Structures are given as structure tokens and as C-alpha cells.
Homo-oligomer: A and B are copies of this chain.
């Protein structure tokens, strides 16, 4: 059987509340007994029973992370697994555990968010997921669970007040395009993706693209804005099926790295070299981009920063020391340009 505060109390010859207070660093206890009891606890490798504890304190020491079901395994995986690592890192510092779960149980279709909250398994929620229902959001708010949306802008109406940390995709789309403009490109194909899935993020990238062109006095050619579906394959096919389009263009802005790589492969196949004939810039800066040839020029999503800020925010409100005073928190982090080999001056 594992050791409880009663055991320690017996050994130390004090009451179990004294043990509790000591280990919780209560100012009520004399330093002498405190250190003595702490020593005993340490010797016995004592840890509080988290369940008993949370029954009183309503604190579990674990955070729920809601993670999108991966529609297209690879793309999602790539980006999110590093997000998760970064989040874990921040939480570890505060000795918080995390339960990662999909929005719904895939067998029972129950909302895991509601389940975790009702079961009292978590103290807070990091939601990396756009398609949350109004009902769920209401539920979270009513339960008073601190929460933050990370990366995805929920698809709910904007009337809803939400706490959000995300990438400034408008800015990202803009700097990507400006980079190509600076290299002398004028006809730039923009490979975007179906907006509805990832909140508005792709739409924003396209807006950035358009705005960069407009500021440069270039007319927007809607035929140059094409809808892919996130994947390598789709982008690859688009190139093969729209040869003439690509022949009339000197640069491509693909709104994620996977599509950029697909485009490059497609272009190679129809006889273009990248970046000599056509420059290609991606978006995400997934590590994979470095393994291809040419190494991918791309827009770096500030994952580390996003995770860090989200955790700090959440931890702040959990500890009743909020780091932000403006409510609701609504923060956009600017991505940065990573210039590698897949873009070059227009010939």
C-alpha cells in the first residue's frame, strides 16, 4: 500500500492536518516541524493522492488538450505534434499533466470536452480545434473552466467572446507574397485551400497575398488563385492538370509546405526547375521542407511562441494571476519568413 499523510503523521507523532499543512507550506506551521515532516515525506517518496486532493480543492493538476481528428493524417500530424511537444514543455514547468483527446469519442460520439469537465478530470482546456459547437462553448463557460483556443479560430459567429492565440495569417500571406515581389515576380500563383475546415486561416493568407499585390499596384487575377485541398497529392495533380496556367507564371505561393512540395514535384515533372524557372514559397515551416531539394523557402509558424503564450495565459488564470488584463484575450502572433533555396530572382 502506498503512503498517506496519516502514515507520515504517525511516524512524526503529529496529526494528519499538520502533515497536510506542512507539505502545503502553510505559514501556520513552525519551520522546525515543517522541515522534519518534509524530510519524512521525501524519505518515503510521498506524493499526495491526486484524487483525494481534488475532491477538496477542485484542482486536478491536469489540463485537457482538445486536438483535431486528423483529417489528413500527415499534414496535421506534422504541425501538431510539435505544437503538443511545446505545450507539454510549458506545462511541465508547472507540474501540470495533460490529457490529450479528440473532440468527440469516435465510438460513442460523446463530447469529450463535456465529459472531461463533468468528470472533473481537468482544470483547464487548450483547444486546438476550430469546429466547436456553440453548445460546447457555452458549457465550458458556464462550468467556469479556464480555456484558450490555440491556432484555430473557432468557426462560431464572431459575436461569441473567445480567448484565442493564433498566427497572424494575413501577415504571413503578405510577407510570403512580398518576398516574391521583391525578387521581381509579378505573376504569382496562389495555391490556397478550402477555407471552411481550418477556420479562416487560409482565407487570411489569401487576403495577405492580395493586399501585397494591391500595395504594389498589381491587379489581382482571380484565375491565379486556386483551391487545393491541403495535400501533396492534390497540389501535384493541380500542376499536371493546369500546365498552361503554370507556364504563365514565374512564382507560386503555396499556402502550406506539403502543397509547395507537391507543386515542386509537379513542376519538375512537366519540365520546370525550381527555383530557376519558377520560384515556390510554402507556408508552415515543417521540418520536412529541409529534406527536399531545393530546400523550401517558407513562412515559419511561430509554434513555440503560440504554445508558450497559451500556456502562460492558462496557467496565469489557474493561479489567479492573469497575465493579460484585457478580456477576452485575442492575440495574433506574427510569423516570419524563412528564405532557403526554392525562391530566387525572376529571370
Interface residues of A (CB under 8 A from B): 2, 45-52, 54-55, 60-62, 70, 73-74, 77-78, 80-82, 85, 88-89, 92-93, 95, 97-102, 105-108, 114-116, 118-121, 143, 232, 258, 261-262, 265, 268, 287-288, 291-293
Contact = CB atoms under 8 A, between A and B. Distances in A.
Nearest to A110: B95
A73 B84 CA distance: 12
A265 B292 CA distance: 9
A106 B52 CA distance: 26
A325 to B, nearest CB: 28
Contacts of A61: 119
Given A97-B99, A99-B62, A119-B50, A45 B114 contact: yes
A98 B64 CA distance: 10
Nearest to A265: B293
A90 to B, nearest CB: 11
B62 A121 contact: yes
Nearest to A143: B2
Contact of A50 (B81, B107, B121): B121
A143 B118 CA distance: 29
Contacts of A121: 50-51, 62, 97
Given A45-B114, A51-B55, 12 more contacts: A47-B118, A51-B121, A52-B55, A55-B55, A62-B121, A77-B81, A78-B78, A80-B81, A88-B101, A95-B108, A97-B116, A265-B291
A66 to B, nearest CB: 12
A287 B77 CA distance: 11
B100 A100 contact: yes
Contacts of A120: 2, 49-51
A100 to B, nearest CB: 6
A174 to B, nearest CB: 28
A10 to B, nearest CB: 18
B82 A102 contact: no
Contacts of A52: 51, 55
A118 B88 contact: no
Central interface residue in A73, A95, A121, by most chain B CB within 10 Å: A121
Contact of A119 (B49, B98, B114): B49
Nearest to A58: B51
Contacts of A106: 89, 92
Given A62-B121, A120-B49, A293-B265, A101 B107 contact: no
16 contacts: A47-B114, A50-B121, A51-B51, A55-B55, A70-B85, A77-B85, A88-B100, A92-B105, A93-B107, A95-B108, A97-B101, A97-B121, A261-B291, A265-B291, A265-B293, A268-B293
Q: Which of A62, A82, A119, A232 has the most CB of B within 10 A?
A: A119
Residue from the set A45, A47, A70, A107 with the largest chain B CB neighbour count within 10 Å: A47
Nearest to A81: B81
Contacts of A82: 73, 77
Contacts of A232: 291
Given A101-B97, A105-B95, A118 B70 contact: no
A102 B77 contact: no
A232 B107 CA distance: 39
